[in-house]
């Protein structure tokens, strides 16, 4: 069997997006040896790059804006399922995270007088959303952090996937990983480990977020016994109907060009939102829009071959302004020959964001000693929906905190010997190499497709007990029947993406099981989470987080009451 390559560091950061890079920078600046590992290339594989903006209360926008107002917006958008303590911290610290970017070489949009120009993001009560030229906020933030990693020459291992947390006496003391570029099994010893591996939208067939989001860190933490939460929450949006590679480009509904929004039309040319929310129309909340679109399709008013296509109408918008605001969408549509001034954009429903992840406290500690988490790998602290700038802000604030607190632990302790965990390393090596050594069986891509189709079919905008149960049954069947038979078409150990996929699909199956089980447990409807068998919001019984934990090889689900320390439902109105 192949050898194991050993490495050691004070703080190991897994994941190279906004949260991971920010954590690595903080760990390095606080005097620890930091090591950043990621699946892919630095600054290229992450969801942050797809984002547009960040939001913070600061010396811009409306002078009457306050952090309290921002907090209220966030908590209300999240259906009162926000962790209010963490949200308050986030809003307090956002301003520093935003401003430090200008030290890193980014420039937030300025007006002609040179002042920072904030705009009103949907769901924000005041203009406090910041972006950069041509709405490239995400790209610029990622590039700025990458340049800071380069400035500090922080050690980096690209193209590796972490596979298992090594546990010694209840503490995390490192990870095992597969260097899939060279086919080498690695064991990285660390005093503290930060998981910043992003979300798990690859459980769904179509998503705006990039393909590497396979919940690796969350699944790994769950298997090691960490508490995870909010796994039942997913955000749905729509994206262009074709070609398939542009199906990841968001069609943003909640925006205005001047006083106008885009219009959503059905196959008959009727403006869809006039039927469902004549007051707000396309400015209705995301959940209302997602439900309306799904209903139009279900009632047969969709177009296209499958009857699942609706249309976005941008024809009435001033062209230049629309192009400036919707850079990606307009650019991609023009590439395929759609003139937005004359033609409709065919759109179909898609997934935008999965909100579940590791449960953290304000020090970014998970329930396992030595394990920290940040970014989308964290169960969304803002509840079950969010307002623009939530994801980036969350990643930056808690990325920094994770780095800082991971160092504090690392500097206080000696390196733990891995003698005791060699059994775990051997077991994991066997598991990781199994697919590449198996002679015949099912291709991982087939299992992934089955999984995505199951989740796409049974975990939708509107759910019910029957569908969820059916979906869960399918997922469990996949695990029983397909997973043990995965084999690869090529047994090369050199950049074998099928091998990677085999490991990812295992993570996704664990995640999907948790998603179905938690969604079945939450017997209510709230914001983007909708069940037609429990259509009402139930504040009496469900102002609760569903926390999941693996105990004695069983999945344990707990409903933990939300602590309403700053705001209670009804108070804000």
Residues that bind other proteins (CB under 8 A): 40-41, 43-46, 49-50, 58-60, 99, 102-105, 107-108, 110-116, 132-134, 136, 138-140, 143, 147-148, 150-151, 153, 181, 210-212, 242-246, 248-249, 328, 331-332, 335-337, 443-445, 449, 488-490, 492-498
**Host H or E run for residue 129:** strand 129-130
Strand partners, 13: 36, 194
In contact, 233 and 524? CB cutoff 8 Å: no
CB 387, min distance to other proteins, A? 22
In contact, 33 and 214? CB cutoff 8 Å: no
CB 464, min distance to other proteins, A? 31
Q: Which one, 54 or 221, has the nearer CB to other proteins?
A: 54
Q: What are phi and psi of 467, to 5 degrees?
A: -60, -45
Q: Which one, 227 or 506, has the nearer CB to other proteins?
A: 506
| Among candidate residues 9, 11, 42, 120, the one with its CA nearest the CA of residue 374 | 11
Q: What are phi and psi of 238, to 5 degrees?
A: -130, 155
Strand partners, 160: 179
Strand partners, 188: 7, 175
Q: How far apart are CA 102 and CA 100, in angstroms?
A: 5
Strand partners, 187: 6, 176
In contact, 388 and 137? CB cutoff 8 Å: no
CB 412, min distance to other proteins, A? 31
Q: Which one, 121 or 138, has the nearer CB to other proteins?
A: 138
Q: Which one, 446 or 558, has the nearer CB to other proteins?
A: 446
Q: Which one, 103 or 540, has the nearer CB to other proteins?
A: 103
Q: Which one, 173 or 488, has the nearer CB to other proteins?
A: 488
How is residue 300 annotated by DSSP? T
Q: Which long-range CB contacts under 8 A does 428-432 form with residues at least 24 apart?
A: 428/163, 428/164, 428/176, 429/1, 429/2, 429/4, 429/176, 429/185, 431/163, 431/164, 432/163, 432/176, 432/178, 432/185, 432/503
Q: How do the residues of the chain divide into helix, strand and coil, expressed in percent and rounded to 5?
A: 40, 20, 40
Q: Which one, 111 or 306, has the nearer CB to other proteins?
A: 111
CB 57, min distance to other proteins, A? 13
CB 116, min distance to other proteins, A? 5
Cα-only R_g, the chain: 23
Q: Which one, 105 or 535, has the nearer CB to other proteins?
A: 105
CB atoms within 10 A of CB 561: 9
CB 49, min distance to other proteins, A? 5
Q: Which one, 162 or 500, has the nearer CB to other proteins?
A: 500
CB 558, min distance to other proteins, A? 36
Q: How far apart are CA 312 and CA 298, in angstroms?
A: 18
CB atoms within 10 A of CB 338: 18
| Among candidate residues 404, 396, 484, 475, the one with its CA nearest the CA of residue 438 | 484
CB 252, min distance to other proteins, A? 13
CB 34, min distance to other proteins, A? 17
Q: How far apart are CA 134 and CA 330, in angstroms?
A: 12
CB 306, min distance to other proteins, A? 14
CB 41, min distance to other proteins, A? 7
CB 451, min distance to other proteins, A? 14
Q: Which one, 59 or 307, has the nearer CB to other proteins?
A: 59
Q: Which one, 360 or 451, has the nearer CB to other proteins?
A: 451
| Among candidate residues 163, 137, 161, the one with its CA nearest the CA of residue 15 | 161
- The residues near 555 (Cβ < 8 Å, ≥ 6 apart) are 513, 514, 517, 548, 549
Q: Which one, 285 or 392, has the nearer CB to other proteins?
A: 392
């Amino acid at each position: 069997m192949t050898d194991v390559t050993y490495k050691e560091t004070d703080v190991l950061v897994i994941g190279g997006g906004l949260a991971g890079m920010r954590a690595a920078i903080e760990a390095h600046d606080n005097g620890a040896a930091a090591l950043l590992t990621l699946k892919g290339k630095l600054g290229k594989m992450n969801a942050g790059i797809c984002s547009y903006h960040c939001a913070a209360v600061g010396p811009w926008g409306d002078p009457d804006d306050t952090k309290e107002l921002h907090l209220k917006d966030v908590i209300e958008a999240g259906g009162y399922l926000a962790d209010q303590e963490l949200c308050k911290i986030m809003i307090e610290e956002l301003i520093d995270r935003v401003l430090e970017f200008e030290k890193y070489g980014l420039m937030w949009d300025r007006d002609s007088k040179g002042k920072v120009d904030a705009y009103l993001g949907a769901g924000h009560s005041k203009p406090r959303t910041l972006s950069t030229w041509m709405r490239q906020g995400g790209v610029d933030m990622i590039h700025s952090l990458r340049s800071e990693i380069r400035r500090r020459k922080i050690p980096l291992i690209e193209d590796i996937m972490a596979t298992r947390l090594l546990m010694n006496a209840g503490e995390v003391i490192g990870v095992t990983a597969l260097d899939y570029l060279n086919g080498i099994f690695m064991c990285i010893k660390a005093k503290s480990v930060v998981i910043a591996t992003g979300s798990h939208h690859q459980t769904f067939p179509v998503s705006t977020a990039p393909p590497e989001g396979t919940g690796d860190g969350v699944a790994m933490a769950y298997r090691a016994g960490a508490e995870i939460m909010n796994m039942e929450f997913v955000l749905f949006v729509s994206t262009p109907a074709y070609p398939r590679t542009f199906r990841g480009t968001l069609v943003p509904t909640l925006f205005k060009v001047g006083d106008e929004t885009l219009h959503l039309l059905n196959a008959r040319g009727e403006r869809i939102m006039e039927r469902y929310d004549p007051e707000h129309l396309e400015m209705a909340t995301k959940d209302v829009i997602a439900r309306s679109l799904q209903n139009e399709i279900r009632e047969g008013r969709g177009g296209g071959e499958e009857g699942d296509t609706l249309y976005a109408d941008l024809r009435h918008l001033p062209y230049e302004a629309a192009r400036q605001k919707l850079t990606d969408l307009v650019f991609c549509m023009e590439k395929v020959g759609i003139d937005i001034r004359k033609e409709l954009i065919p759109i179909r429903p898609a997934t935008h964001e999965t909100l579940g992840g590791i449960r953290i406290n304000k020090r970014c500690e998970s329930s396992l000693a030595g394990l920290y988490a940040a970014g989308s790998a964290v169960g969304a602290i803002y509840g079950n929906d969010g307002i623009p700038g939530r994801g980036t802000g969350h990643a930056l604030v808690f990325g920094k905190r994770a780095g800082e607190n991971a160092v504090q632990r690392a500097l206080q302790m000696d390196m733990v010997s891995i003698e005791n965990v060699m059994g775990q390393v051997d077991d994991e090596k066997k598991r990781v190499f199994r697919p590449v050594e198996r002679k015949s069986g099912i291709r991982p891509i087939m299992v992934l497709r089955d999984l995505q189709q199951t989740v796409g079919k049974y975990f939708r905008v509107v759910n019910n007990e029957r569908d969820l149960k059916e979906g869960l049954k399918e997922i469990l069947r996949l695990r029983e029947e397909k997973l043990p038979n995965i084999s690869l078409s090529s047994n090369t150990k050199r950049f074998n993406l099928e091998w990677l996929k085999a490991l990812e699909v295992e993570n996704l199956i664990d995640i999907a099981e948790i998603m179905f089980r938690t969604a079945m447990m939450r017997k209510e409807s709230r914001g983007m989470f909708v069940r037609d068998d429990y259509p009402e919001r139930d504040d009496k019984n469900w102002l609760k987080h569903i926390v999941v934990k693996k105990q004695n090889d069983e999945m344990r689900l707990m409903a933990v009451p939300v602590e309403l320390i700053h705001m209670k439902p009804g108070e804000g109105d």
